[in-house]
Amino acid sequence: MELSRRDAIAALSAAGVAVGGGGAVLLADDDGNGASTGTDDGDTQTPSGPLDEAQFETLTAAAEVLYPEELSGVDEFVRRFVRGRARDRPDHAAGIADAAAYLDEYARAWFDAEFAALPPQTRDQALRRMNADTLEPDPEGSDEQRVRYFVVNELLFALYASPTGGELVGIENPQGHPGGIQSYRRGPDA
């Protein structure tokens, strides 16, 4: 299963980011690899605010651990979703950047490497060691609670708010997704 641009747009829409008819325009300022293409006058755009390449790599590495293995297109999906969320919410973008930076700092302290450079099993171990799977998420809480809120919950929300992620868990038509006429012609599953 592949996460697509459509999945990123649907997840952004579920997150309250206004994508409407201009959804393709919202995500069209990158080159398909998540890199900004810049403006017509040569200036580079920074729609992701304080997020830099290392933090996008950290977020993608976390998603590779959190998402099922059968998914592809994770890097592009994460970059598009986070870039779209960061576009109009600089405080939220700063929280994501800080949490990703802390995750790298934590990995260096415990495993002597950046989070993205660790093997998947060690990344999973790092998240579990900081209790990112059990802590109460809090955007104003401890560093670990902020990782849970801005990294773990954000990435899981993005996945399961997308059509592909919803299909993985049997939610063919998430709330707010019309699903087409076929869904109205079927009876309930017994």
Closest CA to 21 of 29, 37, 9, 35: 9
Whole-model pTM: value is 0.77
Residue 89's contacts (CB-CB under 8 Å, 6 or more residues apart) are none
Query: How sure is the predictor about 116, in pLDDT bands with cuts at 50, 70 and 90?
Result: very high
Are 154 and 14 spatial neighbours (Cβ–Cβ below 8 Å)?
A: no
Angle between helices 74-87 and 90-111 (to 10 degrees): 140
Residue 52 has pLDDT above 80, yes or no: yes
Residue 57 has pLDDT above 90, yes or no: yes
Query: How sure is the predictor about 180, in pLDDT bands with cuts at 50, 70 and 90?
Result: low
Residue 175 has pLDDT above 90, yes or no: no
Are 95 and 103 spatial neighbours (Cβ–Cβ below 8 Å)?
A: no
d(CA 179, CA 129): 40
d(CA 129, CA 136): 15
